[in-house]
Amino acid sequence: MDKDSLYIMAVMYIVAGIPHFWKPKAYLKIMPSYLPYHLELVYLSGALEIIFGVLLLFPETQSIGAWGIIAVLIGVFPANIDMLVKYKGKKIWPRVMLWLRLPIQLWLIYWAWMFA
C-alpha cells in the first residue's frame, strides 16, 4: 500500500474519533449492555482512534499506530455483532448495512496491518 493510503487511513481515524467527544450519546446507544463504564469506553475508543491515527502520520510511530488501530478494531468488533443481533427493525437496508459492516471491519484490520 502506498503513503497516500496511509494518510487517508490516518485522517479517517482522527476524524472518526472526534465525534466521540462531541456527540457521545450517539455512541452510548450502541454500547453492548454487557460492558461496564459506557461513557468512559466511548471516550476511550475516541481518544484511541485519534491517538493511533496521529501516530500513523510519522514513520517512527507508524507501526505502533497501525497495531493500535488493529487492537481498537478488534475491540469494537463484538459491539458490531451485538448491534446486528439486537436489531429488531423491519427495514432491510439497516440489517444489510450491519451485515456488511462485519467484512468491512475485517478489511480495515487488513488495511492497518499493511502498515504495521
1 Cβ neighbours under 8 A, 6+ residues apart: 111, 114, 115
32-59: average pLDDT: 96
The pairs formed by 24-31 with CB atoms below 8 angstroms and a separation of 24 or more are 30/79, 30/83, 31/79
Contacts 24+ apart (CB under 8 A), 35-44: 35/79
If you search the block for the grid coordinates 503513503, which residue do you land on? 3
The whole-number average pLDDT for the span 12-39 is 95
Domain boundaries, the chain: 3-113
pLDDT at 88 over 90: no
pLDDT-wise least confident of 46-50, 54-58, 77-81: 77-81
Q: Which ranges constitute the DSSP H helices of 1-116?
A: 3-17, 19-22, 24-28, 38-56, 62-86, 92-113
Q: What is the pTM of this model?
A: 0.91
